[in-house]
Structure 1
Amino acid sequence: MARARPARGDTLSAPGAGLEAAADALEAAVPGAVSRSVPAAGLGTYRLGGPVAVLVRVADADALARVAAVLGAHPVPRVVLGRGSNLLVADTGFPGVGLLLEGEFEQVDVSADRTEVRAGGAVALPVLARRCAAVGAGGLEFFVGIPGSVGGAVRMNAGGHGRETRDVLLEARVLDLADPAAGIRPKAVGDLGLRYRGSAIGPDDIVVAAAFRAEPEAPERCAARIDEVVRWRREHQPGGANGGSVFRNPPGDAAGRLIDASGCKGLRVGGAVVSGKHANFFQAEPGATADDVFELVRRVRARVHDATGVLLEPELVMLGFPGDPAS
């Protein structure tokens, strides 16, 4: 899950000398961790999009501090890419810095009494769910059906099957790129402003780790719940190249129902199509482009608004596109 931050006074239209200077400084700060012009197709579940101008792989807290210091001195567009499970990058690419947490940010630690789980922000949610289930740390099984990361789950208050991240979250550890000297700070759940598919976590904040409440149980019971979530997902949600739910559910209704009721199920733009299995999932078929998906989002949003009066809010994060998809 990703959230982009254009630097103050910048746009997403052209990299310019500022981005080149930032890339050079990043290469000096974290040698071997910086790549240029990396295809977005390999960074997200849509498997589409042009190049991310600068990609930085951040392996530990020390490297993150150095990267944050560079970005503080070079105000360029930047985004934490996460698992790329709700991300769509334009065919023209993203003219900024993409951050990928890995290494120590992919660690999972379960307490001896199985009541607390600590996980790095880059841990994939299905991995977290299965590791906890294997040792009988129950209550996190719903995460197996969410193809995002721990950091993204905290930021978006991800949920499913009657549970949300805030139901099990104890604490998050956050670095503010706008104030890197403050370091990584703990944040209590009450300070995160968690709400339906959102939070008060700012665009400059990076969730580097989180602690979750767990319940000691027999691993077999946890595994059975994992299997049930996986079975439900296979029956009700499409596979293939997609970015998960495209729109947030409006209060008291479901985006998928509104899309279906507006006659959009099966609607196609190029190689992008509204899923026949779940209308709030847009699939990218072979030959699709990111622009196809973006235009499909725009058309569906407009049709639903015309038919129902409801203006759906995208959950999908779209980088490098000109303007709002409803325009």
Structure 2
Amino acid sequence: MSALADLAAAGMLARDVPLAPLTTYRFGGPARYYLEVHHEEELLTVAAGLAAEPVPVLVLGRGSNLVVSPRGFPGLVVRPGEGMGGVAVAGDGLIAAGAAAAQPVVARRCAAAGRGGLEFMVGIPGAVGGAVRMTSGGHGSDTAAWLVSARVVDLRTGSVGERPAAALGLSYRHSNLADTDVVVAATLRTVARPRREGEAMMREIVRWRRRTQPGGALNAGSVFKNPPGDAAGRIIDSAGLKGLRVGRVAVSPKHANFFVAEAGASAQDLYDLVAEVRRRVAERTGIVLEPEVRFAGPFEGPE
């Protein structure tokens, strides 16, 4: 057997695990190998297996900006589990959060402790690991503004280390983390803010999102990154594409940068709709939109 198959036989890895329930779109195929990790030591064991059998790696958090191919992911999916979901507020205002901690939980825990700055996280459905990898943000702030450092396991080398924010190449919805880099924890700074003030800010963020974004529908948040000085939703709307549909996925009539899925939709429907919106926007406006949502595994059609 192969190195990873040996780990699966030993119960370290699972095989052919459905990924659809682990994403907000609720579609997509299985992972060839799957690890829900609770301790760094598990990652080091897997790193040794990957050294002997290199396969593609996908780090999965809460699946809020991920679309998995109907054929699944042909490598190893690593998902931080509950053992990496802790949040602690130190006396100096630093926040230690595990990679699996939900961003809204971090925001509310900070507010309850009289700390502010991370209120924007209350409206983001992802986890802290994804916040670091994708530099999540909104409402005038983002993760890069508050991140001190991230603890990262490099599955290529088996090394573990604390990486300062300045070394992560953070920019709008981007970091220099490789596919084989697994964020296991992050340290963020905060500012003093009265609890009531922070909670009021978060209530307003939640109200704004409910007013402006589609609720009760399967989606992954913003599909495209905002071009400098503009908004992808405004551009898509100006191109007359609200309501455009491929299969059972459509551009939301409420917010054009949200693509909503109906029951029976497929990941390929979404992939094709993203490609069609990009094509029409470029044709009508000259702007080439860059996807924010990530596609994992093989899809049919142009990248």
Fold agreement, TM-score > 0.5: yes
Contact 2:153–2:182 (Cα < 8 Å) also in 1: yes
Deviations 1:79-130 (A, max 9, x none): 10111111001112112111111133111111034x1101011111111111
Match of 2:264 among 270, 287, 292: 287
Contact 1:22–1:76 (Cα < 8 Å) also in 2: no
Tell me what 1:247 maps to. Answer: 224
The 5 Å alignment of 1:122-133 reads: 122-133=100-111
Residue 136 of structure 1 aligns with an amino acid whose one-letter code is G
Tell me what 1:230 maps to. Answer: 206
Displacement after TM superposition at 1:25 (Å): 2.7
CA distance in 1, matches of 2:82, 2:24: 21
- Alignment of 1:143 with 2:121, yes or no, is yes
Q: Percent identity?
A: 51
CA distance in 1, matches of 2:20, 2:163: 33
- Alignment of 1:193 with 2:172, yes or no, is no
The 5 Å alignment of 1:1-327 reads: 21-27=2-8, 32-113=11-92, 115-180=93-158, 182=159, 184-239=160-215, 240-322=217-299, 326=302
Contact 1:60–1:103 (Cα < 8 Å) also in 2: no
CA distance in 2, matches of 1:257, 1:170: 33
Displacement after TM superposition at 1:282 (Å): 0.4
Q: TM-score with structure 1 length normalisation?
A: 0.88
Q: How many residues in Structure 1 have an aligned counterpart in Structure 2?
A: 302
Contact 1:82–1:152 (Cα < 8 Å) also in 2: yes
Residue 45 of structure 2 aligns with an amino acid whose one-letter code is R
Secondary structure of the residue aligned to 2:221 is strand
Contact 2:51–2:156 (Cα < 8 Å) also in 1: yes
Displacement after TM superposition at 1:137 (Å): 2.0
Secondary structure of the residue aligned to 1:45 is coil
Residue 256 of structure 2 aligns with an amino acid whose one-letter code is A
Q: Rate the CA distance shift 1:261–1:321 in 2: closer, same or farther, 3 A.
A: farther
Mean Cα displacement is larger for which, 208-217 or 292-301?
A: 208-217
CA distance in 1, matches of 2:302, 2:143: 29
Displacement after TM superposition at 1:32 (Å): 4.2
CA distance in 2, matches of 1:23, 1:130: 39
Residue 206 of structure 1 aligns with an amino acid whose one-letter code is V
CA distance in 2, matches of 1:135, 1:301: 44
Structure 2 unaligned residues grouped into runs of 5+: none
Contact 2:46–2:155 (Cα < 8 Å) also in 1: no
Displacement after TM superposition at 1:42 (Å): 0.5
For the aligned residue pairs, the C-alpha RMSD in angstroms reads 1.6
Residue 102 of structure 2 aligns with an amino acid whose one-letter code is A
Secondary structure of the residue aligned to 1:97 is strand
CA distance in 2, matches of 1:118, 1:265: 41
Secondary structure of the residue aligned to 1:245 is coil
Structure 1 unaligned residues grouped into runs of 5+: 1-19
Contact 1:302–1:326 (Cα < 8 Å) also in 2: no
Displacement after TM superposition at 1:33 (Å): 4.8
Secondary structure of the residue aligned to 1:231 is helix
CA distance in 2, matches of 1:22, 1:260: 50
Contact 1:122–1:151 (Cα < 8 Å) also in 2: yes
CA distance in 2, matches of 1:95, 1:321: 8
